[in-house]
Structure 1
Amino acid sequence: MNAQEIEHKVKNLLSQMTLEEKVGQMTQVDFSVIGDPKEQNAEDQINPAKLEDAVLKHHVGSILNAPLNQQVGSIFHPSFTSANNAQSVEIWRKLTRTVQDAAARSRLKIPVIYGIDAIHGATYTENSVLFPQAINMAATFNAELAFKEGEITAREVRVSGLQWNFSTVMDIGRQPLWPRLWETFGEDVHLATVMGTSYIKGHQGDNFSAVDKAPTCLKHYVGYSYPLNGKDRTPAWIGERTLREYFLPTFEAGIKAGSPTVMVNSAEVDGIPGHANHHYLTTILRGELGFKGFTVSDWADIKRLYTRDKMAASEKEAVKIAVMAGIDMSMVPFDFSFYDLLIDLVKSGEVPMSRIDEAVSRILTVKYQAGLFEPKPLLPIEGNFATAEAIETNRQAARESIILAKNDHNILPLKKDTNILVTGPTANLLNVMNGGWTITWQGDAEDLYPQEKLTVLEAIQEKSTGKVTYIGGDAFDAPIDVQQVVEEAKNHDVILLSLGEKPYTETAGNIESLNLDQAQVELANAAIATGKPVILLTLGGRPRIITSIAERASGVILGFLPGMEGGEAIADILYGDYNPNGKLPVSYPRNTNGITPYDYKPMESFEGNTYNPLYAFGHGLSYTTFATSGLKAEKEKIRMDENINVTVNVKNTGALTGKETVLLYINDVAASVTRPNKQLKAFKKVELNPGQTESVSFTLTPHDLSFIGVDLKRIVEPGDFKVMVGNEIVGFTVTE
């Protein structure tokens, strides 16, 4: 169905709808509104009377989330008596079919669009292929892997009967304290743009109504990821130039890639909550970025304009503010208050019918685009879910996401017969490699993880022909007998010290400091004091401070959140079955307040100021070595509207086959707005045999040379530019 046909159908359907049916389409509720807590995978989790009330009486346009199962709650919220858990494919199919059958009994038979947070695979479907989290995918610098992740995730979401994915996160991860850093593609605009748009294209294809594709949702528009104090859902202080330079471009790219929905920032920027920001939601998003799809609120955030933000004097006023600012669909999520209040607002004339028609037209358009009005048979499970090929793609993504940060005296790779002592809280858990949004919201329910997957310890035990001893506990915070570690070290060649964080997301992951827990520091100090070589492995969603430990360790591996195949990937690298090639997508701070991104301004390295992270953006070692040479720009001068081609040679100068990511940076030497010392504008990953050289070509466009000028417009200014690859620099001049 083409755009013109869809537009005609939407107008025709809209003309038949009552006010109540229209406002219902703008209403999204949580599964708990239609269900009752049951055992996981119970057949009767939907309450028929509640479903009829939601879909037939209140005409809800969307439902989200997994069923609320009866079980022990999150470790972060022990008062919870139940939690949203992954369900089997078969149960999901029955649940979504029941919802759509109810919609088919409505007067106009408008289908419900069912949304789910499938942020690193089909999160809430049992035994799905769960990829490395976004911070790790960024570390691969491999857009093809992001594309394949999108393809596999969409297919497994659709196999489950689900239709809409609340992914991908296009926020920029420049505040390492922020507990959702790991959901981003790192601190660089270009890297996040390439990886995010590649994922979207894989997930949606050319037509997201296809049976194996699904619409994506850009989140969280905009500025959410840069809270001043580092805590989730707290204020960001971002001037509009900085917003346009660093935070809007990724969303603009996602819109151009075809993502039809946008989820709104839960916090505020410069004193205006995201859900009340007409300038961001309408003037910029619609007027400047050309977004045609619909916006959806984040969890209960319209109510919070009244209850939390004190922007509205009543809940009713909060609804008016949000809808008039540009919110099209409200994630209520536990009641029909939005529905009731918005109907009242329209009847009183406070919200014009034209605004309702605008929002509903956008929602209906996406439903038509997604093929929901013409439901197709579900994909067969066999051959489309958790296939061997998909699992191998996931394993490769995990391998390429692991960063070898230090390798003194080539301590790694280890020989298979090395006697290894494994200790630390992250060594023998699957949840610490996956993080939040894994099977459950917080990702901390280890007993629900597929036990056939291997922890780091189990993967080492499978590969090793030497002695492997483990000293640790069954939970992240279980006490570790430090004295036993010291004594046992005498009987081993190497200590693998596995440190990091427990899983978390959102406000549950807020912390006061990037410092590691003191118990982990004491364990590390004792292990290092034994005199045995220590390999430090870190797992977790953000860079915790490891400086004193890393400086004394023989080797350092930064694992972050490598997903369900992470244990095997780490063991592959430890023993040399895979040559590491991951690169840091963030600057790894040396100290807890040493937060400076790689693209710092000149004054940040002037008169005593320095960019001095523990490990720089783009850092990552290999078991072989590479050298770049012969950097050339094709012209010395170009016009402002011209492209320029750049070439460089990269050679494998070592003894092993390996992959190297060639990073190309530019610097605008002098400009009317201060420019970063360098900005990543292109990258390419190549695989080379020992001694092999490859010529790599890049094309820089006028957009690559542009910036946000004094008048807040994107411009290119004439003048000199530098291009940097490796240790080489070449220049060219832009003329008018």
Structure 2
Amino acid sequence: MRKIIFFILFINGSFIGFAQNYEVKVDSLMNLMTLQEKIGQTVMYSGRWDQTGPIVGTDNGKYIREGNLGAMLNAFSVKGTRDLQKIAVEETRLGIPLLFGYDVIHGHRTIFPINLGLSASWDLKMVEESSRIAAEEASAEGLHWTFAPMVDLSREPRWGRISEGAGEDVYLGSEIAKAYVKGFQGDDLSKPNTILACAKHYVAYGAAQAGRDYHTVNMGEGELRNVYLPPFKAAVDAGVETFMSAFNELNGVPTSGNKFTLRDILREEWGFEGFVVSDYTSINELVPHGFAKDSIDAARIGMNAGVDMDMVGKLYHHFLEDLVKEGKVPEAYVNDACRRILLAKFKLGLFDNPYRYINEERENTTKYKPEFLDKAREIAAASSVLLQNKNEALPLSKDIKKIAFIGPLVKDEYDIIGNWAAKGDRKGKAVSVYEGISEYLNPNQILYAKGCEILKDDDSGFEEAISISEQADAIVLVMGEGHHMSGEAASRTNLKIPGIQPELIKKIREANPNKKITLVLMNGRPLNLSNEVDLVDAILEIWFPGTMGGAATADLLFGEVNPSGKLTVTFPRNVGQVPIYYNMKNTGRPIPEDNPKEDYKSNYIDVPNTTLFAFGHGLSYTTFTYSDFRISSQTLNPNGTIEASVTVTNSGNRDGHEIVQLYIHDKVASVTRPVKELKGFQKLALKKGESKTVTFKISVEDLKFYNSEMKYGVEPGEFEIAIAPSSDFRFKHTFNVLD
């Protein structure tokens, strides 16, 4: 029989009513709990064997009955979660419900573009809509919590997990973080279609040395505060309920044992009131880091540093009670951790009804709704970036007699939804590019050859691919990475299109010197396309576009949708330029604009310093012109604002969207500042021939940074300002900030 806990308030022995305040309810419950039961709330185990980290087996039912489990990873579906929840609420002393968490990263059943791709839409509404749909589907299968968004800023294309983030920019990454949190959590967590969001991986995980996953990070506190912390602070400001500590070390201290970042900054400076969960066994990994002498010591360090819940590691379960009794961990820390976890459960309404997320009818009717699939198609198209379009190779005409579609990803349904694709169906629901183009073309217009595999060194399919290319009037190559080649534990030192695909591209061009060739790229990171830009006419970057990716790609290829995406991460000329990003700093010997090859300057002798494709770059089937830049004042007072505006005109022959970007540069400061910083953007819809004026407001708050003494503020002086279509521009205008 299920236990029901009533929270009744007494003052001086007199009954005053039922508690309505969550914090009071938590305190009332905790007064009934033993130390071991409190520790139990800090423990998470996996509902199945899992390969995201070291395999840790459990006897979940036993631990739940003992009150030694507060949350479950990888347990979902109405039946699965009901069986486990029933044990927690009906077979334990206090009937405390479990939290069920899962990696819902870019969709649950309906899969959206990978996060790096979605960021290329520069559309905060779409980001929010995608995570709202993901929350709808995940919550319908009994889930309460997602380990997303990943808000790690990264300028490292070798790092596989760059695919999970929003790119290289602080401002854009912060805005996208807020949109994800709002989508997952909604406006009221007590509604059963909302889930807890989790800002990860705290912190600086995206700056791993050499782009190698889990590797060391070293940086000054100024860079940490100016670059890597702001997206996490934005998530806190948006009301994110949970954080995840990272795998990496930061300046010699592993982040899952780092009191400075977890307690001093997150709790004391930012006032974060939610709970922190470790990444998968990241507390255990304090031992191989050389930061803890053994597992007991690791448990001590993790809790004392501020990690409230141990994901799968078993350390809190086995060692925390003795550590408290021995005085090595303050009991107050355990109480605080338990209180935060219980509070999240109250906010979700699990104490009112532990089965509120468990509903068969909702489970059966929520996933893959037609409106979800329509939105996935729209978002996949908006997230794709037209990198190159020489000779107006795109869009294709539906009246072309023969089009050759060549490549290992033309008919792919498996890789197209990318890594960390939750429970997305890789066979059946996912729409391949071939299926997508079949909506537009008759079968007799389509020629197809796989050509080669993504990685296998087997050119036996080249002959067929070259043959059909010679029969076609236009050629479309669909190539790139496999889904497993980006994401966690998928670092690469070679950024070229993998395998023998580049060789096939070259041979097809040699066989068809005058035909228009389009390269459609499916991948999870910036690639080195320095050869391909000369071999093909058009390059359409679709990332891993998700469930409806093939349909969206066809919409773009045939001009039903005009490309509007723009890069949120730099594409280098080769791996030797890495790290390369738009908002780097000058040196004492910067390259002269009129002589980029001048000796004894900060340049390379074999390639230019410039990018292959810059941050903010993205083409359209129409053209946009910028004119009439205006600034409302040449001076900005400490408490005032100024406005900068520009007129944008669709000067081409198609309707389209343009992403207008605001940049500034602090010319002289007490610490050197980036050469350019994004400070605003707007996405405009413009009919052909239409003009609109875009206006940005700038205040002192937009110009603040941490100086060498870690004081946050703005310094008076001259600033450069520009409104541009990408980061590839030269400043022409200035204003001054007054003291």
**Counterparts of 1:518 and 1:370 in 2: how far apart (Å)?**
48
Please say if residues 146 and 196 of structure 1, whose CA atoms lie closer than 8 Å, have aligned partners that are also in contact.
no
Higher mean displacement: 158-167 or 599-608: 599-608
Please say if residues 295 and 327 of structure 1, whose CA atoms lie closer than 8 Å, have aligned partners that are also in contact. yes
Per the TM alignment, residue 476 of structure 1 is displaced from its structure 2 partner at its CA by 3.9
Which stretch has the larger CA shift, 527-536 or 648-657?
Answer: 527-536
Tell me how far apart the structure 2 counterparts of residues 643 and 157 of structure 1 sit (CA, whole Å): 43
1:560 partner SS: coil
Counterpart in the other structure of 1:314? 294
Q: Which residue of 2 aligns with 1:125?
A: none
Whether the aligned pair in 1 keeps the contact of 2:26 and 2:342 (CA below 8 Å) is yes
Partner-residue secondary structure (3-state), 1:593: helix
CA–CA distance in 1 between the matches of 2:453 and 2:30?
54
1:365 matched to which residue of 2?
Answer: 343
Query: What does the per-residue CA deviation read over 1:625-648, in whole Å, with 9 as the maximum and x for residues that have no partner?
Result: 111222222222121232322222
- The 1-side partners of 2:293 and 2:430 are apart by 52
Question: Which amino acid is the alignment partner of residue 563 of structure 1?
Answer: G
- 1:377, distance to aligned residue in structure 2 (A): 6.2
Q: What's the offset of the Cα at 1:662?
A: 0.5
Q: Which one-letter code corresponds to 1:720 in the other structure? A: E
Corresponding residue SS for 1:511: coil
Q: Distance in 2 between the 1:193 and 1:611 partners?
A: 28
Q: Does 1:535 align with 2:533?
A: no
- Any residues of structure 2 matched to 1:248-287 within 5 Å, and which? 248-287=229-268
Q: Say if 2:133 is the partner of 1:152.
A: yes
TM-fit CA distance, 1:7: 1.3
Q: Residue 24 in 1 paired to residue 9 in 2?
A: no
Q: Write the distance in 2 (CA, Å) between the matches of 1:52 and 1:370.
A: 23
* Corresponding residue for residue 81 of structure 1: none
Task: Determine which of 340, 356, 369 is the counterpart of 2:334.
Answer: 356
Deviation at 1:214, TM superposition (A): 1.3
> Could you tell me how far 1:473 is from its partner in structure 2?
6.9
Shift in alpha-carbon separation, 1:4–1:309, aligned structure 2, 3 A: farther
Segment of structure 1 superposing worse, 706-715 or 320-329: 706-715
1:460-471 equivalences in 2 (<5 Å): 460-465=437-442, 467-471=445-449
How far did 1:555 drift?
Answer: 0.8
Indicate if the aligned counterparts of 2:414 and 2:427 stay in contact, CA closer than 8 A.
no
- Aligned partner of 2:53 in structure 1 is none
- Paired residue secondary structure (2:120): helix
Q: TM-score normalised to the size of structure 1?
A: 0.89
Q: Which residue of 381, 392, 395 corresponds with 1:410?
A: 392
1:48-127, aligned counterparts within 5 Å? 50-66=59-75, 92-105=77-90, 106-122=92-108
Partner residue, 1:82 = none
Q: Which amino acid aligns with 1:98?
A: D
Selected match of 1:209 from 190, 206, 214: 190
Opposite residue 78 of structure 2, the aligned amino acid is: R
Which of these residues, 715, 730, 733, is aligned with residue 733 of structure 2?
730
Query: Are 1:495 and 2:475 counterparts?
Result: yes
Note the C-alpha offset of 1:289. Answer: 1.7
Structure 1 residues 374 and 476, CA gap change in structure 2 (3 angstroms): farther
Given the alignment, which residue of 656, 661, 664 partners 1:663? Answer: 661
Q: Secondary structure at the match of 2:298?
A: helix
| C-alpha separation in 2, matches of 1:455 and 1:304 | 40
Distance 1:32-1:381 versus aligned 2 partners, 3 A rule: closer
Distance (Å, rounded) in 2 between the aligned partners of 1:394 and 1:729: 40
Q: 1:702 aligns with which of 685, 694, 700?
A: 700
RMSD: 2.2
Q: Indicate the SS of the match to 1:140.
A: coil
- What SS does structure 2 have at the residue aligned with 1:510? coil
Distance of 2:398 and 2:439 partners within structure 1: 10
In 2, distance between residues paired with 1:12 and 1:224?
38
Secondary structure at 2:289 match in 1: coil
CA displacement, residues 32-70 of structure 1 (integer Å, 9 cap, x when unaligned): 389xxxxxxxxxxxx9x944312111420000115xxxx
Superposed, 1:657-696 pairs within 5 Å as 657-696=655-694
CA contact under 8 A between 2:415 and 2:426: conserved in structure 1? Answer: no
TM-score, normalised to structure 2, is: 0.89
Instruction: Note the C-alpha offset of 1:111.
Output: 0.9
**Per-residue CA distance 1:91-122 (angstroms, 9 max, x = gap):** x0111111211111211111111111000111
User: In the aligned structure 2, how far is the partner of 1:450 from the partner of 1:439?
Assistant: 14
Q: CA deviation at 1:382?
A: 6.4
Contact 1:408 1:555 in 2 (8 A): yes
CA deviation profile, 1:233-263 (whole Å, cap 9, x unmatched): 1111221110101100000000010001000
1:312-461 mapped onto 2 (5 Å cutoff):
312-333=292-313, 336-375=314-353, 376=356, 378=358, 380-381=362-363, 384-418=366-400, 419-439=402-422, 449-461=426-438
**Distance in 2 separating the partners of 1:253 and 1:690:** 37
- Asked whether the 8 Å contact 1:131–1:562 carries over to 2, the reply is yes
**DSSP 3-state at the match of 1:150:** helix
Question: 8 Å contact 1:33–1:50 — kept in the other structure?
Answer: no
Aligned-residue offset at 1:453:
3.1
Contact 1:639 1:735 in 2 (8 A): yes
Of 28, 31, 34 in structure 2, the residue corresponding to residue 15 of structure 1 is 31
How far off is 1:385 after superposition? 3.2
Question: CA distance change for structure 1 residues 410 and 211 in 2, over 3 Å: closer, same or farther?
Answer: same
Corresponding residue number in structure 1 for 2:583: 599
| Distance across 1 between alignment mates of 2:430 and 2:293 | 52
Percent identical residues: 34
Tell me how far apart the structure 2 counterparts of residues 406 and 473 of structure 1 sit (CA, whole Å): 23
Are residues 1:200 and 2:181 paired? yes
Q: Which amino acid aligns with 2:324?
A: V
Residue identity opposite 2:295 in structure 1: E
Describe the SS at the equivalent of 1:464.
coil
Q: Helix, strand or coil for the counterpart of 1:22?
A: helix
C-alpha distance in structure 1 between counterparts of 2:348 and 2:590, whole Å: 50
